[in-house]
A and B are shown apart, each in its own frame.
Chain A
Amino acid sequence: MRSPFSIPVFLCVILGAIPIASRAEDVSFRRDVMPVLAKAGCSAGTCHGNLTGKGGFKLSLRGEAPDWDYLVLTHDQFARRIDRLNPESSLILRKATASIPHEGGRRFTEDSPEYRILLSWIRAGLPRGDVKQPTLTKLTISPEEALLVEPADRFQIKVTASFSDGSSRDVSQFAVYETTDPIAVVSHDGLVTRKALGETAVIARYLNQQLPVRVAFVAARPDFAWSNPRENNFIDHQIFTKLQSLRLNPSGICDDTTFLRRAYLDIIGLLPTVEIARRFAADSTPDKRARLIDALLQRPEFAECWALKWSDLLRNEELAIDFKGVQNFNRWIRDSIEAGKPMDQFARELITARGDTYTNPAANYYRALRDPNSRAEATAQVFLGTRLKCARCHNHPFERWTQDDYYGFSAFFGRINYEILENKRRIATDQHEFNGEQIVWVARSGETTDPRTDQPAKLRFMGTEAPALSPDDDRLEAAAAWVTSPENPLFARVMVNRVWSHLLGRGIVDPVDDFRITNPPSHPALLDQLAADFIEHHYDLRHAIRLIANSRTYQLASRPNDANGDDARNFSHGLIRRLTAEETLDGISAVTGLPTKFNGYPLGIRAGQIAGVSAIHFYIKKPSDADRFVHVFGKPDRLISSESERSGDITFAQILEMAGGPTANDLLKNPDNRLGKLLAAGKSPSEIIDDVFWSALARGPGEKESVELTRYLAEAKDPRLALEDIAWALMNSKEFLLRR
């Protein structure tokens, strides 16, 4: 079996100190001095790279603007920072070596390579390094991945810079290293040393480029023997290959009850009914899991469940969109998913949307995004998993996105206008509220302004050159085509990674909307393969879910084995999550057999079917118990275009809500609920216990549970009260509240 860590690991290679500039006249500001300013931390965001600089000395952040930095060092503040005639006395050297007081302390010593380079640059007469000089074209790093099994605990990173003149050199000494996790430390020269077992990424930065090294420090586990689990599809192959190299066995496959509940919650957002759970348990055919997945994908609740997810992302909420618009938008999303609309088409229809927002619901995409920048940011984040916002003010510190990319991409969204037919604003103070019909229309001309130049922004797709567009071309069409193109390396990966994260509890890239070089995927080859498969199957959401849910990886038990309990990113066991707000409330509703009431909706509409956030603003009417319940359990306000807005945290308020809050309590006490019906039907205590267990946990009671609870119920003076206690206890159990 081929290991994903196929690149040889360099252990303990001590690099010779290779002076970058051996002769003074070779020193170039761009090529030699800029890396020193980064390496010494001068241009870091916490120091002189800060937006306002430090101590009146401001460099560009991480050296994004060498021309600026050159003038700052040589000319700014009346040329006080450099002493050409007495180079050793230059302020920058006295400060950096802390030979005079320096808030940032000593950055390097007089015998360091950094000092030597700065000094030779000053001695050489401050050569700027003109445009004819070679520029950095490519950075390569080795190893790209490092997997070290105990006792191995360190390895050397080698960073090689290639320049436009064809030359290349080892710049390991001058690269800046960072780790994303404190399990490893990196020395000044790129020696990575283990602090604890686990995985992390080390980022190496040199000039304007950066690369990650994925690092795994693996326990020796001398007794490790690969369990060789059966692979259901290519997903398992990729996941298991890496697990084996990490000397971890995956957990066993989960039991039927767990799988049933898991698949129901993940695919349609509901608990299985008593009848379904019983039937599934009794089914002994070998393909029953696959058939269940297929069946769930055809249920109407499937579309509702995924429309809920997309309504979160597309900011479908009543302040910007109004109640009617929210209903229409949610229905449009639901219908798209129900109809199996390919996800690239879905994205294109949103990005190019226009017209009356009531009759062309996709146009609601732009109703909350009132300016070109927020449209570009949302489109990049939702469909390309990219957080562009930083590039609004400065070139992105962790990525390649520049301000050119930012304003160039924004320019595609600059011709969107709104005709506000009416606005019956209910909250006078809220300028963001729009209550009434609007038409989103696209002007034939008009340019956005690049605030840096006050000139019209130059159209540009992120990271690529400007497209050739004729004046008649529709810019939204062009943007949509570029975003969703199979050649776009991000779109399919981002979309399928969102599905993966929904089902597995963590993205292959995580967070799912933070794709960047410095946040590498845990399983790059798997993500590639999933994306290719997604494209091949016409961006079919159901196909992607079916593929993933049928994998053995998806079906692994959440109980860890002896070794894989600490693994959080290799999918060696099922990840446990709290039920979402809607799943919890709809679950309580299903167990008690009673509907819940949301303000503005008829009785019987489930939490998972609610189109927006709250139909009637809390300024106007006190939220219903159900409205409040979903808020407490983390239903998002949909004010940002990110899944991270939905909270999966467990809070004390939630515990109180479950233990004694009015929502669950009223349903439990209601005489017409499931408990009342069971008692009224004259069922035996054991039958009643049985039914309540199946409804809450998708399983019957165990023997001990059955015996003791049956006796408790049979002997109770007030059976109704006893049964309420039992149901209360079940709904407050982890087994109910967690998806395992």
Chain B
Amino acid sequence: MKLAISAFLAFALARPLASAAANPDSAVSFSRDVAPILNRQCANCHGPKKAKGGFRLQTFDNLMQCGSSKKPPITPGSAEKSRLYQLLVTTDEEDLMPKDADPLPKAQIEIIRRWIEQGAKFDGADRDTVLSTLASSATHEAAPKTYRSPEPVTALAFSPDGAEIAVSGHDEVTVWSAADGRLIRRIGGLPSQTFALAYARTKNLLAIAGGVSGELGEVRLVEPATGRLVRLLATLEETALGLAFSPDDSQIAVAAADQSVRVFDTASGRQTFRLDDHSDWVMSVAFSPDGKHLVTASRDKTAKVIDLPGGEVRRTFRGHDKQVYDAAFSADNQRVYSIGADHMLRVWDIDDPEKSGKKSSPTALDLGAEPLRMKVTEKGVLVCCADNSVRLISADGRKALRSLSGGSDWFYALSYDEKSGRLAAGSYNGEVHIWNIGDGSPVLSFTAAPGFTPAANALANEPEK
């Protein structure tokens, strides 16, 4: 019993729900109260990957359909007659759900019971929405007022005028002055992790991609100056990892850990196409400068060139023998740079030389460390690496031109401001470094963690060796 209570407490604390459990008279909401329970407790065996007993409850529609037993899982109005409820409370250990795990806490069973008794109503917008995303339309936790420790910078972006830098925070995005590293504003209401940030060049929009690992992905459009939510562009089953505006800002491409690549119309928010050709997380997505292609990078060890607007896969590049972290087009739209966990920067043609009959000159540069993100600039290709370095590679991908010093931990994120010729990189230790790309001189560095003071945390944050 002690176990059940503590499990429930942890659960209740982690999510702003359970209000229904506390108040026995209130109405139980399926989206808010029931969906999270089912998603957490049942999805492992009855989810997207497995459907034990012929039963799946990925969506509300699934939930209402019989499994192999041919007995309706839910009989609205009567918990006692509902197969799902019976299996939660049965004394037969063989039948009791969840199998090979502790029974559900009494309070959770009670929520389910009352929801069924109240008519088992669906209160969401679409019965086909997966339960995990249904649950997420609940508000996110507030960002910490001050940061006890710096948060790894996994995404950052210069504003179009180069004056500000948006940086991933915890449950928020923080915006800093590119001139002096001063905190300008905090954009909250976000899921805990942010993996990609992009400003529209011509529109007043900041796109934010992230989520909660293992639970949820989100892509939001906000107004940069105020942080006002313009549109919740997508909720996904897994984190959104990559993001790009088309050159004319009319489209937004999203890469996600649910293995999908999606393109949305910026103005309407409508999804224009979805590609599921990757067999593992899609780490990044980028448009070609002419807007005619996309390139994706995936943990499935491939990168793909996709034709727009049709969404046909033009080429699958299998040169990396490990995860591909990032990929981008050359200025002439003809070649693609990609970086992977095999430590290589590879340059390849957008057409398969075997099919196109063109001569190919594949190039591979061993970086000697894991390259994590890249940016193609007029000066060359910028790559940030797990050896605490940021490098500038020649445009032909053959030569390292410069290594930018000052970092002391893995660099996860890059942004380049063409006008000022400045480059910003974000690091695991929460630091943002800004360099002048022309001569490699450092311009500014600061720790992007509101309220964080290193001295007070010296004990808690052992320096990395």
Segment 105-157 of A: residues with Cβ below 8 Å from B: 105-106, 109-111, 124-128, 130
Is residue A56 contacting chain B, with contact meaning CB distance below 8 A? yes
Distance between B448 CB and nearest chain A CB, rounded to angstroms: 13
B215 at the interface (CB under 8 A from A): yes
Query: Is B78 an interface position by the 8 A CB rule?
Result: no
CB-contact partner of B195 in A78, A94, A95, A130, under 8 A: A78
* Contact of A110 with B7 at beta-carbon distance under 8 Å, contacts A75-B428, A100-B214 already known: yes
Task: Tell yes or no: A89 within 8 A of B by CB.
Answer: yes
Q: Closest CB of chain B to A75's CB: distance in Å?
A: 5
Q: Are B461 and A91 in contact (CB under 8 A)?
A: no
Known contacts A81-B213, A91-B214, A128-B465, A111 near B6 by CB under 8 Å: yes
Known contacts: A109-B3, A111-B2. The answer to whether A84 contacts B192 by CB under 8 A is no
Residues in B neighbouring A78, C-beta threshold 8 A: 152, 154, 195, 241, 372, 412
B299 and A56 contacting across the interface, CB-CB below 8 Å: yes
> How many angstroms from the CA of A94 to the CA of B214 in the assembled complex?
9
Cα separation A127 to B44 with both chains bound (whole Å):
32
Is B102 interfacial (CB-CB < 8 Å)?
Answer: yes
B11 within 8 A of A: yes
CB nearest to A78 among chain B residues? B154
A56→B101 CA distance, assembly (Å):
25
Report chain B residues within 8 Å CB of A12: none
- CA–CA, A413 and B373, complex, Å: 44
Q: Tell me which of A56, A101, A105 contacts B47 (CB under 8 A).
A: A101
A125 to B141, CA, bound (A): 22
In the complex, A74 Cα to B465 Cα: how many Å? 14
B317 beta carbon closer than 8 Å to chain A: no
Given known contacts A25-B459, A85-B147, A106 and B13 CB-to-CB distance under 8 angstroms = no
Q: DSSP majority for the A interface?
A: loop
- Closest A residue to B45 using CB positions: A101
For B101, give its contact among A95, A98, A110, A128 (CB under 8 Å). Answer: A98
Docked-complex contact A85 and B412, CB < 8 angstroms: no
In the bound complex, CA of A103 to CA of B47 (Å):
11
Question: Nearest chain-B residue to A128 (Cβ)?
Answer: B462
Contact B7 A109 (CB under 8 A): yes
The answer to whether A80 touches B151 (Cβ under 8 A) is: no
Task: Give bound CA distance, A102 to B214, whole Å.
Answer: 9
A168: Cβ under 8 A from any B Cβ: no
Q: List which B427-449 residues lie within 8 A (CB) of chain A.
A: 428
| CB interface residues, B 70-112, toward A, < 8 Å | 100-102
Interface members, chain B 304-321 (any A CB < 8 Å): none
Q: Is B239 an interface residue (CB 8 A)?
A: yes
Q: In the complex, which residues of chain A have a beta carbon less than 8 angstroms from the beta carbon of B14?
A: 88-89, 99
Residue B119 at the A interface, CB < 8 A?
no
Known: A75-B386, A111-B3. A85 touches B148 (CB 8 A): yes
In A202-236, which residues have CB < 8 Å from any B CB? Answer: none
Please name all residues of chain B whose beta carbon is closer than 8 Å to the beta carbon of A105 when the two chains form the complex: 44, 100-101
Q: Which residues of B contact A85 (CB under 8 A)?
A: 144, 147-149, 151, 170
Q: Across the interface, do A101 and B44 meet the contact criterion of CB distance under 8 Å?
A: yes
Contact bitstring A64-92, B, C-beta under 8 A = 1, else 0 = 00000000001100111101111011010
Q: How far is the CB of A720 from chain B (nearest CB, A)?
A: 69
Q: How far apart sit A79 and B213, CA to CA, in the bound complex (Å)?
A: 10
- Report if B280 contacts A (CB, 8 A): yes
Is B47's CB under 8 angstroms from A130's CB?
Answer: no
Min distance, Cβ A264 to any Cβ of chain B, angstroms: 58
How far is B325's CA from A56's CA once the two chains are assembled, in angstroms? Answer: 13
For A74, A100, A110, the residue with the greatest tally of chain B CB atoms inside 10 Å of its CB is: A100
Output the least CB separation between A87 and chain B (Å).
10
Residues of A within 8 A of B459 (CB): 25
- Give the residues in chain A near B428, CB-CB below 8 Å: 74-75, 79
- Contact partners of A127 in chain B: CB under 8 A: 462
Contact residues of A between 630 and 652, Cβ < 8 Å to B: none
- CA separation between A98 and B241, bound complex, in Å? 23
A89 smallest CB distance to B (angstroms):
6
* CB proximity to B under 8 Å, residues A285-321: none
Kindly identify, within residues 343 to 385 of chain A, every residue whose CB is under 8 Å from any CB belonging to chain B: none
CA distance A25 to B457 in the complex (A): 13
The verdict on A98 contacting B10 (CB below 8 Å), with A81-B213, A84-B151, A128-B465 known, is no
Contact of B412 among A79, A91, A99, A102 (CB under 8 A): A79
Considering only residues 467-497 of chain A, those with a C-beta below 8 Å from chain B are none
Q: What separation, in Å, do the CA atoms of A130 and B386 have in the docked complex?
A: 20
Instruction: Name B195's closest neighbour in chain A (CB-CB).
Output: A78
State in angstroms the CA–CA spacing of A74 and B213 once bound together.
14
- In the complex, residue of chain B having the shortest beta-carbon distance to the beta carbon of A93: B10
> What's the nearest-Cβ distance from chain A to residue B371, in Å?
13
Q: Report the Cα distance A74→B427, complex, angstroms.
A: 13
Chain A hits for B11, CB < 8 A = 99
Please state if B213 and A125 are interface contacts (CB–CB under 8 Å). Answer: no
Question: With an 8 A cutoff between CB atoms, is B460 at the interface?
Answer: yes
- Bound complex: CA of A50 vs CA of B149, how far in Å? 33
Known: A86-B192, A98-B101. 16 other contacts (CB 8 A): A74-B428, A75-B410, A75-B428, A79-B154, A80-B213, A84-B148, A84-B149, A85-B147, A85-B151, A85-B170, A89-B14, A98-B44, A99-B14, A101-B47, A125-B461, A130-B462
Name 28 interchain pairs, CB-CB below 8 A, sorted by A: A56-B281, A75-B410, A75-B428, A78-B154, A78-B241, A79-B152, A79-B428, A80-B239, A83-B170, A85-B147, A85-B148, A86-B170, A86-B192, A88-B14, A89-B192, A89-B212, A91-B213, A99-B10, A100-B215, A101-B214, A106-B101, A106-B102, A109-B3, A111-B3, A124-B460, A125-B460, A125-B461, A126-B462
Closest 7 pairs (CB-CB, A-B): A79-B152, A125-B460, A101-B44, A80-B213, A91-B213, A78-B154, A100-B214
